[in-house]
Structures are given as C-alpha cells and as structure tokens.
Amino acid sequence: MSRSLLRTALVAAALCLSIPFSAEFSCNRYDFALNRYIRLNAKAGDLVVQDVEFLFPSYIGPKKLDIEGRNEAVVDVKNYGSVPLRIHVAIALFDASGNLVGCGTSGSKLGYTRSGESEDFHVAFNYVHSKLMSAKYFYLTVETEPAK
C-alpha cells in the first residue's frame, strides 16, 4: 500500500506541475503620435502599462550630439501585484489604410519585474521600418506570467 500511495503522490505532483500558471493578456488599439508620451493606463492583470513614447530615431547620448540610434518605442510598465512577473510586449503599427508598416517585440530584462517595480521596455523596429512615418495607429499587446 505504501508503494501505491507513493505512486499516486508522484502522479498528482506531476499533474500539478504540468498545469500552466495563469498568464494575463491585454491587446488594445491606440492613436499613434511621434516623439511624445502617449498615456495608456492599460492593464494585464496586476501590470499597468503607463505610457509609450515612439522615437524615430532614438538618440545615443545627448540629443544635441545628433548620434542617431534605432527606431524604437519605449514602453513604461509597473507591476502592482504581489509576485514577480515575466513580461512580453509587442507593438504593431498601421497606416491609415490598415497596412502593417512596422512591428517589434521585447521581453523581460534579467528574468522578471519585481512587485512594485517600474520598468521600461525598448521595442525596436529593426526590420520592417521604411514606412514607419506613415503610421496612424498601433496595437500594443502585453502578456504577463508569474516568474518561476
């Protein structure tokens, strides 16, 4: 009987570990604006996406040195929950006709964002970017999951 109890406990433990932790998801559409903060206040569970700023191009060092960097969006988030979160961000830019003119993704730095922490994510538009300046709106998708 002890052997069957151990086997049952191992099967139960394996089943518990195979159940995915709850992930939160948010996808919203916003109007596009360049080189200014766009207030969002979007939520994905306990995570709040506070704002985004599109920098086309961003600058390396002081702007007056005029050293251009990459085209990017800086997304500011804050974890209001009680557990650390892994965060994944995706942005898709569209022109007035609904054509996709840019897209980029980013994920958690150093593994996770602690409870109560704010963090900036730099979403680069490296590959599809020739028509970025024609963007009129964008979709911002955020997915979170508890850090393991």
pLDDT at 5: 52
What is the domain extent for residue 140?
Answer: 22-146
CATH for 131? 2.60.40
Q: Among all chains, which residue has been given the structure tokens 């159940």?
A: 19
User: Which single residue is written with the structure tokens 């709850």?
Assistant: 22
**CA–CA gap between residue 13 and residue 20 (Å, rounded):** 13
Q: Which of 132, 35, 116, 119 is nearest to 83 (CA)?
A: 116
- Whether 33 is covered by a domain: the verdict is yes
Match 């704010």 to its residue by tokens.
118
Task: Report the C-alpha gap between 40 and 48 in whole angstroms.
Answer: 9
**Per the domain annotation, does 16 fall within a domain?**
no
Structural domain contains residue 67: yes
Residue 9 lies in a domain: no
Mean of all residue pLDDT scores within the chain: 83
Residue 6 is assigned to a structural domain of this protein: no
| Any domain includes 59 | yes
Tally of domains within the chain: 1
Q: What is the pLDDT of residue 107?
A: 78
- Decide if pLDDT at 57 tops 70: yes
* 140: in domain: yes
Which of 37, 59, 54 has its CA nearest to residue 122? 54
pLDDT the model gives residue 14: 43
Give me the residues paired with residue 104 across strands: 91
Query: Quick one: DSSP state of residue 35?
Result: S
pLDDT of residue 16: 42
pLDDT digit string (tens) for 15-44?
Answer: 444 334 568 889 999 999 998 999 998 999
Residue range 93-116, pLDDT digits in tens:
999 999 999 999 997 677 789 999
Percent over 70 (pLDDT), the chain: 76
Paired sense of beta strands 47-55 and 100-107, if any? unpaired
